[in-house]
Amino acid sequence: MTDELWHPYDRMAGEFLAHAEDNAYNAHYDRPTVLELLGDVAGLRVLDAGCGPGLYAEALLERGAEVLGFDASTGMVELARERVGNRAELRVARLEEPLPYPDDSVDVVLCALAIHYVADRRGTFAEMRRVLRPGGAVVLSTQHPTTDWLRKGGSYFDRVLETDAWSMLSGRHEVQFWREPLSDLCAAATDAGFVIQRLVEPRAPEIMRERWPAEYDKLARRPGFLALRLLALP
């Protein structure tokens, strides 16, 4: 993505954090699924790739992990630093570029709701494989391609740069992401040297039925996100 495409995240960083801390999709649909897939991270070195405002970094620290993280948005990294202080090493970097970390330097890569912003997913998975220590894992979540296809139309098998419009108090922000079939995402991971250990299509929790009944009903019929746990081959 170009610099211009990251600017919306800088402009809405504070609003995004306030929204994501306790909303239906980020707080109660995505994070519980991803944290369950991560499992016990105590004592592990975890790279939070696309760290956003630091909500996952904070959760990982609370679970005893050593945390590194980066995001393409300067505004998001600033919020993450405010959140976790000097307990994590955070920097501005892009997921679609060579990762600024040595070979075999982390135990786990976490990539929550960010891989769909990357045009060259094979290159990104290859970089994740490079920085992982032997036996390492990647846990990622992303928008479900079937749901995106139903929302956007066209052929499910097309690879398309889509645009969503997010309305916030600061205005209307256009956010772009790549839609491609699930088989392409899985092939990008396996071609880079991973095996798929688990694939999860989350179910809406009961708290959503109580607080966001319309979203609960929607997710009871079709998934919003999916999550993968990938293991690096020797």
pLDDT in tens, 15-36: 888 888 999 999 999 999 999 9
Count how many domains the chain has.
1
**What pTM does this model have?**
0.94
Task: Give me the torsion for CA of 174, 203, 21, 142, rounded to 10°.
Answer: -40
Cβ partners under 8 Å of residue 156, min gap 6: 145, 146, 149, 181
* CB 228, CB 198: distance < 8 Å: yes
Tell me if 66 sits within 8 A of 46, measured CB to CB.
yes
Phi, psi of 101 (to 5 degrees): -140, 150
Q: What are phi and psi of 181, to 5 degrees?
A: -65, 155
Q: What was the pLDDT predicted at 125?
A: 98
Q: Give pLDDT tens digits for 100-153.
A: 999 999 999 999 999 999 999 999 999 999 999 999 999 999 999 999 999 999
When pLDDT is averaged across residues 78-96 and rounded to a whole number, the result is: 96
Burial of 187 (0-12, 13-18, 19+ CB in 10 A): middle
CATH number at residue 7: 3.40.50.150
The domain containing residue 11 runs over which residues? 3-232
Q: How far apart are CA 10 and CA 173, in angstroms?
A: 11
Q: Are 198 and 3 in contact (CB under 8 A)?
A: no
Task: Kindly tell me if the per-residue pLDDT of 191 is higher than 80.
Answer: yes
Contacts of 188 (CB under 8 A, 6+ apart): 121, 122, 124, 125
